[in-house]
Structure 1
Amino acid sequence: MGNKACVDRRGFLKGSVAIGAVTALGALAGCSPQQGGQPEAASAAASSEGVTASVVEGKWAFEIPPEPIAESDIAETVEDDIIVIGAGVSGLVTALAAAEEGASVTLICAGTAPVARGGTFHAFKSRLLDEVGLSDPYGANIGEFFKKEMMASSWNIDQRKWYRFYNHSEETMNWLLDKVEAAGYECVIENFVADESAGVNTSVVGGHSFMGGEIVSTGMGGPLVVEVLVAEGERAGVKYLYSTTAKQLVREDDGAGRVSAVIAENPDGAYVKYAGKKGIVMATGDFSGDREMVAKYCPSVLPFLNDNKDTYDAQFQFGGLMPGDGHKMGLWIGAAWQHSSLCTPMVFTGGPGATASPSTGLLLDARGERFGNEDMTNSFLANALMQLPDQAAYGIWDTGAASFFKWPAAAPYGSGTMTPEDVIAGWETACTQSNPTMVKGETVEEVAELLGLPIDETVKAVARYSELAEAGVDEDFHKRPQLLSPITTGPFYGMKYKGEDMLTIMGGLRTNADMQVCDADDNPIEGLYNVGTMVGDMYSNLYTLLVPGFNLGSTCLTFGYLTGKSLAKA
């Protein structure tokens, strides 16, 4: 087709954004001179005929390369074997693994310190799994297990990466266990939830969780891991440079050759070129902090973005994290986007059960109506909320639910389930804390009023649900009987389940199984690698919690470890 228009923030989202196409745009900004383009014609077409293909296929402002930083503006050149960009888990692991193999490594980071989000690391096998009697829990069934996961992703993922993770996770986890335990911290295997029905909601075994110091619960040990990785890296000779923001990659041969360096702005505002003789590794996180990138590559979570600031130093923050620096730099030098144009959100919603447990009670929409079978896990529920009137659901249950269901303890494997007394105590705390997440009432009417639901409709829905539960048959949505608990014994509890807890967006640049960034013909761009959240074609549709710690264990830990070692030996 002819010249393409480019879209920027000024004309963005005056209407809504639909999956795969912008359904309404405002004024179009002119393209940079080297891009050509006819913005006036495209703008006229958009205003008189609606959105046209030329608009939808046009370049976004973030895709247009800035003017190259001139050599005369570069104050200094630093050369090492490997340059790593980013101080999250993936970047820190890559740097340490490379340094241990004898490579000289400089790690630059835009933030003022390393960051860690979450803390569950998956491994399919490890010496710790052996120690707790869960040796090789997948065994010969790994192919069938992966097939189920890939079906959930519509086979829209790169199988080679998944099997590479499986084949190397034991080696990598044992490497990390040795370091963390030597530092005086403990690793435990997290409780997992076995779905007693068809198995589709089973949260599988393999979540490794680090504990010690102020970290006393599972799933939050990322900061401990980061602390250990940095200390080990310093001993191995890694040079860490913080408040140093990567700006542009340097690709030789007029943009057709090897990526040899990255130009970054140091804390003094000067440009420094960091040249990597063996490679440049980007570990810059996601792009959820850039609204235009989200509009193009993950529009379903646009309603959940916040105007977050200082995201380079953000730890566990919802509503937008990193600004996509690595993605943009890659696109500017000819990297292709992943094969699946849409990326994968990691979304959560609250609830009185464990994160990966099926929702057990009655859920209503804002009209006080039951909207479906509640038997889904946290991340799936968060996605389902996007279909509801105010993108929220409202749970109501009674005191009897504490005894009716088994409530997994948020504790290491073998901890069993909580007692009904402990369950109720947790609900009471959630109702009375300074920022309550649940409500309590002596009647269903009182709970409905506290939740802001229409009282008559809510009472009717609760009565109908209790009738079905007493009969043991869900004639409306056919939920399995063991999840049907009558709502008849006061006091009653309620909670608003919001879908706005979007932590990150998975995916980005086209990446092969060796973590090489590739062009549109799937050819590796020599010298350029990426690890962590930004690895493309690893996930599709929705990042689930059924394999706890999958991303930290795979793209961050295992792929970072393998990439660092292989680059050092190159």
Structure 2
Amino acid sequence: MTRDRKEVTMREANLSRRGFLGLGAVAAVSTAAVGLAGCASQAAPANEGGQAAEETSGYRFMQKPEPITEVDETHDYDVVVVGLGAAGMGAAIGAVKNGAKVAIVQKEIKGISQGNSCSGVDLEQSNEEGVLAYINKIMAESDLRPKRELVDMYVRRSGEAVMAVYEYGQAGSLPPIIRSESDVTFEGTDAVAHAVVVAPGTKPIMWQDGIENFAEVAEADPSIDIFYEYPGVQLVQDESGAVTGVICEIKNGGYAQFNAANGVILATGDYQNDEEMVEVFCPDCVGFDFKQVNKTGDGHKMALWAGAHMERVGHTKMIHDMDSGPMFTADIPFLNVDMQGNRFCDEKTNGSMMFINNLMRDWTEDKGQYCQIFDAAYEQKYADSKPPTLEKLMVYMPEEDVERTGVIESLIDTYMCDTLEELAEKLQIKDVDNFLKTVNEYNKMCEAGIDSAFGKQGAYMQPIDTPPYIGTHRHVRVSAILGGIDVDAQLHALDENMEPIKGLFVAGNTAGPFYGGVDYPAGIPGMSVGRAVTFGYVAGESAAQGK
């Protein structure tokens, strides 16, 4: 039965350099990159609910659907959180701590998250000089492109937010742990920032498990209701443009309207599974494999349709492989070869785990896959790099009969073989003869002490000559795209004039611009989940307090 409702209204969302992309001088380049320069609007397809979409632009994700005016369920809450991941969890906790009754509507059959570490800064054990230095570190590692007020907010509120998640989860069957605490110091100063890292446990326990623990606790919390398989599809706005609720699809057909007296928080994750959005906002990710599924930018789209503004391109990408071998061995300057057996870089200056993907942008085959090659004497040859012991390395070798802790067994991909031919086969290198030739030529350059191919420093030119031979098949994939809707420090969604849209908040990877660099700044462990939790927590607080 259809219940009384407010008619959904939407603000016209114009696709323009100023009003949408915010690209400035690079707008034409981005548009040309996806073949849309000067094109006419295309006919809009039907939206997921079956209604004809309004024709607004050539981009499918900007085609605003017709207002949904018939609903089958109506629910009333103070705060409605769209999405149950790290940001959604933080949002619910932040809102409940401020007295709100909260609904979480989730697209999937359970909450979804990733990562293992969640870090924040404990202000009580830090000094102001350290706080400012920490802010500057994040800014510098992100090419000075973040909105500083967001970085400032994260550093000053993250310790509180991370510990709130820790404390809330203690009532569950898998309570989070404080994995580490340490003072971050800055050379030549008295600056101290005290970092705390909270985790759901040790790998293979990840924040996916932590989200499920949160849901278990929330199940007994009268202030939180979770609605699974209720994907948000459209925001409800009043005549002034203020957001007053969200409409969700119901699994067996129809729609449910969730009215939010204080605000709606969009925390739906990134858009990596929407091919068109990736091509427009983060084209360097095109062609790489993606770790996530169903991350189709739902929150971004709903916010844009409601008049919000997307941060500038290009959005920051997180592309890495932390599982096939020990995480930090990816940065040791072993010999690197592609899947044809060709060396492709100076492994010392160009081999960093977080940045090596940039060398692969133009690869047309096996994009994101390469192998690190070394030998039994690696601990001595690369002692300055502090490599793991062979005992620790063997945990990542699926063919070795050892006890495994701290790994995801389905992803480990390191091998130790008596011959290079056998190693090439285990690593799935396609041209074994070419691989053997590459190793031979590399060894000759090592003997000469000069890398005539790529210029690696002589000290790191270590021959592959001591069996057994060891290799790791790395497969860097897109873990997250870190770009989203422009927000202020209270996490209000901002329109093209950088004015807040009343009642609409955005958190986690749906929000920006917190990063801004080409690649994720890996110098601060756990910041990805920590930022998502903190943004959610502050958004929940802001919504509950009616800010």
Q: TM-score, normalised by structure 2?
A: 0.78
Q: Percent identity?
A: 24
The structure that is helix-richer by fraction is 1
Q: Deviations over 1:13-37 (max 9, x none)?
A: xxxx985533557998435899678
431 and 154 in structure 1: CA distance in 2 versus 1, 3 angstrom threshold: farther
The 2-side partners of 1:569 and 1:252 are apart by 20
Distance 1:226 1:366 in 2: 38
Distance (Å, rounded) in 1 between the aligned partners of 2:236 and 2:411:
49
Cα 1:356–1:60 shift into 2, 3 Å: farther
Alignment correspondent of 2:479: 503
Give yes or no for contact 2:15–2:62 (8 Å, CA) kept in 1: no
- The AA in structure 2 aligned to 1:252 is D
Give the Cα–Cα distance (whole angstroms) in 2 for the partners of residues 303 and 324 of structure 1: 18
Asked if 1 retains the 8 angstrom alpha-carbon contact of 2:346 and 2:455, the reply is yes
Which of 513, 519, 525 is 2:489 aligned to? Answer: 513
Give the residue type in structure 2 aligned to 1:331: L
Measured after TM superposition, the shift of residue 521 of structure 1 is 0.7
* Residue of structure 2 aligned with 1:265, choices 244, 249, 254: 249
Partner residue, 1:59: 58
Structure 1 unpaired stretches of 5+: 6-16, 38-57, 128-134, 195-203, 307-317, 409-415
CA shift at 1:494, angstroms? 2.8
The amino acid of 1:286's aligned partner reads: D
Q: Which amino acid aligns with 1:170?
A: G
Q: Secondary structure of the residue that 1:493 maps to in structure 2?
A: strand
Q: What is the TM-score when the length of structure 1 is the normalising length?
A: 0.75
CA shift for structure 1 position 396:
1.5
Aligned-pair CA distance for 1:295: 2.2
1:21 match: secondary structure:
helix
Tell me the distance in 1 between the aligned counterparts of 2:213 and 2:387: 32
- Asked whether the equivalents of residues 507 and 539 of structure 1 are also in contact (C-alpha less than 8 Å), the reply is yes
What letter corresponds to residue 358 of structure 1 in structure 2?
Answer: D
| Residue 30 of structure 1: aligned partner | 43
Greater shift, 267-276 or 225-234, is seen at 225-234
Alignment partner, residue 382 of structure 1: 357
Distance apart, 1:535 and its partner CA: 0.5
Q: Write out per-residue CA displacement over residues 106-151 of structure 1, whole angstroms, 9 at most, x where no aligned residue.
A: 2212222222222210113379xxxxxxx64x97355455445434
Contact 1:120/1:219, CA 8 A, preserved across alignment = no
Q: For 1:238-280, what per-residue CA distance to the aligned partner results, in whole angstroms no more than 9, with x for missing partners?
A: 1212221212111111xx4211111222334232221111111
Point out the more displaced range, 222-231 or 487-496: 222-231
Q: Give the match for residue 546 of structure 1.
A: 523
SS at match of 1:79: strand
Give 1:525's aligned residue: 501
Instruction: Check the 8 A contact 1:380/1:544 in 2, yes or no.
Output: no
Q: Secondary structure at the match of 2:200?
A: strand
Who is 1:171 aligned against?
A: 160
Please tell me whether the aligned partners of residues 307 and 495 of structure 2 are also in contact (alpha carbons under 8 angstroms).
Answer: yes
- Give the SS at the match of 2:199: strand
Cα distance between partner residues in 1 of 2:411 and 2:133:
44
What's the offset of the Cα at 1:474?
A: 5.0
Residue 241 in structure 1 maps to residue 227 in structure 2: yes
Q: Matches of residues 298-377 of structure 1 in structure 2 within 5 Å?
A: 298-304=282-288, 318=291, 320-338=293-311, 340-349=312-321, 351-355=324-328, 358-366=331-339, 368-375=341-348, 376-377=351-352
1:198-222 Cα offsets, whole Å, 9 max, x none, are xxxxxx96543232xxxx4377244
Q: Is the 8 A contact 1:210 1:219 kept in 2?
A: yes
Which residue is equivalent to 1:493?
470
Matched, 1:208 2:198: yes
Q: Partner amino acid for 1:273?
A: Q
What is the Cα deviation at residue 167 of structure 1?
Answer: 0.9
Deviations 1:145-204 (A, max 9, x none): 544543443322211111111111222223233334455735243699x9xxxxxxxxx9
Per-residue deviation at 1:365? 3.3
Q: Which residue in the other structure is 1:155 paired with?
A: 144
The answer to which of 374-383 and 512-521 deviates more is: 374-383
Distance 2:539 2:329 in 1: 31
Q: Retained in 2: the 8 A contact 1:180–1:225?
A: no
Change (3 A) 1:446 1:264: closer
Alignment of 1:419 onto 2:389 = yes
Equivalent residue, structure 2, for 1:21:
32
1:187 to 173, 177, 184: 177
